[in-house]
Amino acid sequence: MKDKKTKKHIVRWILLALFVVVLVIACIFSHFGGFGTGKCADTEEFAKYAGKISDISVPAQARVIGLGEATHGNVEFQQLKLEVFKVMVEKYGVRAFALEGDYGGCEAVNRYIHGGSGTAQEAAAAIGFPIYQTEQMEQLISWMREYNTKASADDQLCFYGFDMQRYEKNCHFMLEVAKELGVSVSELEQIWDDEKGCFSETYNPELWTKVIEDVKRELQQCDVPKAVQAVHFADILLQNHEIGKVMDSTVNGIVLRDRYMADNVYWILDQEEVRGNHRIFVSAHNGHIEKRHEYGTSGKAMGNLLANELGEGYFAIGTDFFKARVSLPKGESHTNRSNHTFYSYNPLAKASKKCGYEMSWLDFSRIPNDSPLKQNVTGYIWMGSVGEGYSPLMAIMPMAYRVWDSPAVLYDGMIFVSKAQPIEVHKEY
């Protein structure tokens, strides 16, 4: 009897020990997104061809320079907006910064950097996305404002947005210009309360579209520069309405949004051409910047559309991390956030870290065919890609936050961050 009890006791301890081992293994897998941090590219070869952000060079034919970010929720990727933009301004004559942000909200920023009232924090908040209500975005905006105080009228920097997910600022600025130009807005004011920034009780989607189209037609008859921008405000509002129709279908909504964003980038490029500038700088998530990114069987991402249309006129810079502690929203709230750790498993990012870089730039065109590094940039590897959302599945299915693709197919070069820190969102706005 005593032997049976002893055996049961031993079995219990064995099962408990096995459970602890499995739990530890699961925790390790969850933390690293696998067992370990992935393979490493040849560090000696990486050190030969890697450089600093200031070493970034773009070809003469490049008209749109795109900077991607592997996550929206990290300080370093937001800092890179300013660092890379400075290089584009100082070395390549770029005078326009275009953001994956609301066009109307970004117009508020544009007015601020041209001497408008308020603060950089208020300007950043006007963009409409909490991910931009950060110290890093304020630094970018402040730098552009300071630059403009010393620049000639022809050399001024402009701030644009190419997204259409907000309507308040677009409607406000369209109304402002329409009234100034004597365009009738009485119908619009019956369904839109500009003071409150919301629709009135008489609003309905069909009437909204008709009224915006009517205002747009009248604005198109006004032969003044201000009318061109006002027409674009109307176009953004119409895009926003069309996006709303397909939001129940995630894929259709994403496809349409990317197509509209590409169209808006072309519009920005046209405006800069009028100003005498032949290049623009755009910033968005990697998924929108990639030269080859398709949704389903026919939908293409913005970068894919730009690459198809512009060819070598589109220069894409991707980013990735070795390790990132990312700020992500809790549930539906984008201001209440928590931090989560991810490892990209990117062998190039790991080589960058092992070479001692906090941040490095790798131009794929500089790597010769006989370099062992060539296989890493032309072959398929894992790369980190975290959107603006979190699921517990990401802890047990690391493929949910990684992409398996060829870096050289997606980008012309990449920037690697060894340890990315979470952003802090200003909640008061």
> Looking at residues 174-190, what average pLDDT do you find?
94
Picking from 291, 280, 259, 278, the residue whose alpha carbon sits closest to that of residue 414 is: 291
Q: Is the pLDDT of residue 165 over 50?
A: yes
pLDDT beyond 70 at 51: yes
Average pLDDT over residues 297-315: 94
Per-residue model confidence (pLDDT) at position 24? 45
Question: Residue 118 and residue 429: Cα distance in Å, rounded?
Answer: 14
Tokens of 32: 């690293």
- Contact yes or no for 13/5 (Cβ under 8 A): no
Q: In the chain, pLDDT over 70 holds for what percent of residues?
A: 90
- All residues at 6 or more sequence positions from 67 whose CB lies less than 8 Å from its CB, including other chains: 80, 81, 84, 85, 281, 282, 283, 284, 289, 317, 319
CA nearest to 80, candidates 93, 69, 66: 69
Asked if the model's pLDDT at residue 389 lies above 60, the reply is yes
pLDDT tier at 278 (50, 70, 90 boundaries)? very high
Residue 258 has pLDDT above 50, yes or no: yes
Least confident of 18-27, 152-161, 377-386: 18-27
pLDDT at position 269 is: 98
- As a whole number, the mean pLDDT across the chain is 91
Q: CA–CA separation, 246 vs 121, rounded Å? A: 33
> Amino acid identity of 59?
P
Q: How confident is the model at residue 102 (pLDDT cuts 50, 70, 90)?
A: very high
22 — pLDDT class (breaks 50, 70, 90): very low
